[in-house]
């Protein structure tokens, strides 16, 4: 009798950190497939995904995939394994609430369909927006019909692209209609009951983090003529000291 765990048993024991890395591996694997690469080594896959090879091999072992010594992983089969584990081998109807610039951009993103997600509906409360076409064969519906839309399309994933002041109400209605997975772009923390998963994407926070790192890589040099000059990071202590000795004062970028 085989001792290899079933897919359901493996899924229950996969660490959250591993689950978070699986979509990254899948993105790299799709790139390999697009370049007609049939097999990929753990070292190559790990480098492209930004992790070490030992961690990658451990992650993939949770899927029951161990590769072939001296050959590596079969790209197509590994795509299937990762997709199956992430639940992407089935069709997931998605409803987007909020048909502003962000909602429209999401509705037109072609990557959803190729990854197992189907935009079933886009909803909004603005009468000027309801009835307009946001994508091919996709017309904005009235957000007053959230419950009806969720039931009609068997939606289990909802995307909130509304202003912050409307997000919690939209979230409550989605959850009340039976949606158990929510992706929120609203800059507010949502309160949901146990059993409902929320993933929050706050673009302003991500930009602030990038600004922090950009600032750390920059030094403002004030020359004797009083002009401020920005210099890229990587300035050594000796170089910085020499500049100051020459009559320049150095300050960090604001």
DSSP-derived secondary structure for 125-176: S-TTTTT-EEETTEEPEEGGGHHHHHHHHT--EEEE-S-HHHHHHHHHHHHH
What architecture is the 7-86 domain classified under in CATH?
Answer: Orthogonal Bundle (1.10)
pLDDT above 50: residue 49: yes
Residue from 77, 30, 72 nearest 49 by CA? 30
Considering only CA atoms, which of 42, 18, 33 is closest in space to residue 80? 33
Whether the pLDDT of residue 154 is over 50: the answer is yes
Nearest to 199 by CA among 182, 187, 174: 182
* pLDDT of residue 228 exceeding 70: no
pLDDT at residue 36 above 70? yes
Q: Cα(82)–Cα(65) distance, rounded to whole angstroms?
A: 9
User: What is this structure's pTM?
Assistant: 0.69
Whole-angstrom distance, CA of residue 30 vs CA of residue 38: 11
Contact residues for 155 (Cβ-Cβ < 8 A; gap 6+): 93, 94, 95, 120, 121, 149, 177, 178, 179
Q: Helix (H, G, I), strand (E, B), or coil: what is residue 250?
A: strand
pLDDT value for 119: 94
Q: Which of 173, 178, 12 is nearest to 93 (CA)?
A: 178
Residue 121 neighbours by CB under 8 Å, 6+ apart: 95, 96, 138, 141, 149, 153, 155
Condensed to tens digits (0 to 9), the pLDDT of residues 166-225 reads 999 999 999 999 999 999 999 999 999 999 999 999 888 888 888 888 888 775 555 566
Residue from 128, 127, 108 nearest 119 by CA: 108
Say yes or no to pLDDT of 234 above 80. no
Question: What pLDDT is recorded for position 232?
Answer: 53
Beta bridge partners of 121: 95
Task: Name the residue ranges covered by the structural domains of the chain.
Answer: 7-86, 92-201, 210-252
21, 62, 219 from 236: Cα distances, Å? 35, 44, 11
- The DSSP code sequence of 50-67 is TS-HHHHHHHHHTTT---
Helix (H, G, I), strand (E, B) or coil at 79: helix
CATH class of the 92-201 domain in this structure: alpha beta
Which string of b and e fits 126-163 if b means at least 16 CB within 10 Å?
A: eeebbeeebbeebebbbbeebeebbeeeebebbbbbbe
Which SS3 state, helix, strand or coil, does residue 203 take? helix
The overall average pLDDT reported for the chain is 83
Share of the chain above pLDDT 90, in %: 60
Answer for the pair 138, 124: CB distance below 8 angstroms, yes or no. Answer: no
């Amino acid at each position: 009798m085989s001792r290899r765990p079933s897919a359901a048993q493996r899924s229950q024991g996969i660490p959250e950190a591993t689950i978070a890395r699986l979509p990254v591996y899948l993105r790299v694997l799709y790139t390999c497939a697009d370049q007609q690469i049939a097999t990929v080594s753990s070292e190559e896959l790990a480098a492209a995904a930004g992790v070490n090879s030992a961690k990658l091999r451990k992650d993939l072992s949770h899927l029951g995939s161990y590769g072939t010594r001296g050959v590596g992983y079969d790209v197509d089969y590994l795509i299937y394994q990762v997709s199956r584990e992430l639940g992407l081998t089935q069709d997931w109807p998605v409803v987007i609430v909020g048909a502003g610039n962000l909602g429209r951009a999401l509705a037109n993103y072609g990557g959803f369909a190729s990854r197992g997600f189907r935009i079933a509906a886009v909803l909004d409360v603005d009468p000027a927006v309801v009835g307009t076409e946001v994508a091919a064969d996709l017309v904005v519906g009235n957000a007053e019909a959230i419950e009806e839309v969720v039931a009609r399309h068997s939606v289990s994933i909802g995307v909130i692209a509304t202003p912050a002041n409307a997000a919690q109400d939209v979230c409550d209605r989605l959850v009340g209609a039976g949606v158990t997975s929510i992706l929120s772009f609203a800059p507010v923390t949502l309160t949901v009951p146990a059993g409902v998963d929320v993933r929050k994407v706050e673009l302003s926070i991500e930009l602030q983090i990038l600004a922090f790192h950009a600032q750390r890589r920059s030094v403002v040099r004030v020359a004797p003529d009083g002009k401020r000059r920005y210099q890229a990071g990587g300035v050594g202590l000796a170089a910085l000291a020499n500049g100051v000795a020459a009559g320049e004062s150095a300050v960090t970028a604001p």
